[in-house]
Amino acid sequence: MKIKKISIKNFRGIKSLENLELSDFTTIVGKNDAGKSTIIYAINAFFEEKVIPDDFNYDMGSNEKIEIKISFALDELDLKSSAILDKDGYFSLKKVFSKDTCKLTSMFYFVYETSQTEFQNLWAKDDNKGELDNLIKNLSLESRPKNSGYKKADRIKSIYSSFESANGGTFIENEYPINSSDLKSITSSLEIDLPTIFYVSADQGLDSNDKNYSPHYKTLFKLFTKGIENELNKIQKHFDDSIEDFSEKIKNNLVAKLNKNVEINSRIIFDINKAYSESIFEIKDEQENKFIPIGMKGAGIKRLFVISLLEAINETGNNENIVYLIEEPETYLHPSAQEELFNVLKELSVKSQVFVTTHSPFIAGKTSMQSIVLARKDNLNPKYITKKDMEYELYNEIADDLGIKPYILDKNADYIIFVEGSSDKVFIESSFEKLTGQKLSNMSIFVIFGGGDSIASFITLEYFKKTNSSHFDFSVVLDGDKIIVDNKSNRKIFEAVNKFCQDYSGHLEILEKYNIENYCHPKIICEISSKLPFSKDDLNKFDHKKSMASQIVNLLEKKSIDQEIIKNVKNVVKNNNIAIFEKMTEQEWSEMDKNGKLKEFYTGIIDIIKSHRSTQ
């Protein structure tokens, strides 16, 4: 379940904000006091269900309240007929907070449903009184009785589907109040869960035992005890029996001491699933003679603890359905640590969702243009600009504000190859040398970032245009997935890069395979990670027009490999591709470039350079 849109009223500087679209990895940038953190604060308030006096907008009326509406995508689940989705197909919840109490006062959900009032708000029907069964009977539908194992969700889906399939009547979107108990009943019946929040504020103490982290330690307990639930239940039963006896002794002792005829109810609960109590992390270096808690160390050390914790969450597979809210993650971090942090957050956003505010030119520069939100002040009110309404001039404004610099082109370059990222650069360098016998440096060929959809790539290409660098011959190399996989993001990247090449007489080279990972030789993959439960022959059967990582997962699942092992190995190629490329021989590169397309591309560049040099 991922957040797709948020609407906010009367929260901090925001008087009214409608349907701000958010991505899996959203980076919010802007000047100080522009309202960058307000979005993160609002998301946190929504999930924590509490606000503080400072959260209320200064210009709100006496009868107005804070309203935060979040729309979640449930694309991976078949919930189209579940009567919980709005007109856009999202699961949308609105929470309302009172200024008098600073507490949640009401909650609403939105349903796109038939205009026939008798069949509206199906989840509010009393299933114990047979109200849904009566509606099913009135519609002459097949019964879905409880005693046959059907759930309330099954009866609702049957009713809702009947109106969809008949294409009769009008469908409208309605808003209904709902309490926490009913919401829990709906999500439980549909087997869905709202995300867990991981929030790190800019001024948070960052103690390793901070209460913000405890939910994740508790979730780890569930992860680590997976598969031994029966044993835990036996232990729980033993605790329950022992504690009941202990409680009874306390009660009897108390009755005896009161020396009067009284009745006492007693209960002591021990839940083994909530057994987490605290975490302690201490550090001692060669200059210290005792261990010092992380919370008492410098801010830089504490930020490194956050990176380590995030890495551990990802590495253990405990990264499902989490929303990470992190303010200015670059604070107190060396640039190299910023890169490490960005890579961790990017990995986490694959299965969860990440929202960061930043002033870092590195983090903003690495972020996809599709995922940038620019916060601006407009007559004291924050305004948020996204990709869909952002002009190219605004990307330059972002770059200027944050100090994102283009790659300065070497005037002595004979040829330039623009690539998407650092792994692509190593891929080009290694394959070029092995397939042609030439080093890029000897040929004055420069490989630079400029083929991706990040802000930094955009700025480099803009610099190339503005400097009127028509004397440079160049190519842009894109992964094959940009044309193989049909999605809006890939299509936009392809169209923008293709137009750039056409306008400036460059060459667009689309790799024959899905991405650079698919060029990794099976022999080297197995050498680097001998623990992988598949062979070179297995890898040779892969379709190189599909994702290598996805095919590894499918292969392991066919071999009935445990899911935890699959989680640990499915990214092995992606995480080790640089080492694999550097180890591959000329023969192995030729085998992976079976049709010779890559070598043909490189020899074409060499011919161009030789031709230019011969005329000088």
The reply to whether 249 falls in a domain is yes
Q: What is the mean pLDDT of residues 149-161?
A: 86
Whole-number pLDDT of residue 214:
58
pLDDT for res 40: 94
Q: Are 491 and 481 in contact (CB under 8 A)?
A: no
Q: Determine the angle formed by the axes of helices 392-402 and 455-466, rounding to 10 degrees.
A: 110
- Tell me, what amino acid is at 547? S
The per-residue pLDDT for range 41-96, each reduced to its tens digit, is 999 999 999 999 999 998 888 889 999 999 999 866 667 778 888 999 899 999 99
Quick check: helix, strand or coil at residue 117?
helix
Give a yes or no: residue 149 inside a domain: no
Does residue 157 sit within a domain? no
Residue 475 domain-assigned (yes or no)? yes
Kindly state whether residues 423 and 488 are assigned to the same domain: yes
Residues 425 and 465 in one domain: yes
451: closest CA among 531, 377, 515?
A: 515
Q: Is residue 446 part of a domain?
A: yes
What pLDDT does 596 receive?
Answer: 92
What pLDDT sits at residue 567? 58
**Least confident interval from 224-233, 279-288, 418-427, 598-607:** 279-288
How many domains does the structure of the chain reveal? 3
Beta strands in 386-437 (DSSP E): 415-419
Exposure on the CB side of residue 98, measured as CA atoms within 13 A: 7
Is 369 a residue whose pLDDT tops 80?
A: no
Mean pLDDT of the residues in the chain? 80
Sheet holding 372-378, edge to edge: 196-200, 322-327, 353-357, 25-30, 372-378, 381-385
600/588 same-domain check:
no
- Same domain assignment for residues 571 and 492: no
Is residue 250 in a domain? yes
pLDDT in tens, 188-242: 888 888 888 888 776 654 444 555 555 566 666 666 776 787 888 888 888 888 8
Task: Give domain status of residue 407, yes or no.
Answer: no
| Domain ranges, residue 537 | 517-592
Question: Counting Cβ atoms within 10 Å, is residue 148 exposed (0-12), middle (13-18) or buried (19+)?
Answer: exposed
**Secondary structure (3-state) at 424:** helix
Say if residue 428 is in the same domain as residue 499: yes
Cβ atoms within 10 Å, residue 120: 16
In this structure, the answer to whether residues 484 and 524 fall within a common structural domain is no
Q: Are 468 and 527 contained in the same domain?
A: no
Pair 556, 426 in one domain: no
Cβ-Cβ contacts under 8 Å for 365 (sequence gap 6 or more): 399, 402, 404, 454, 455, 456, 459
428-454 per-position pLDDT tens digit: 999 999 999 999 888 889 888 776 667
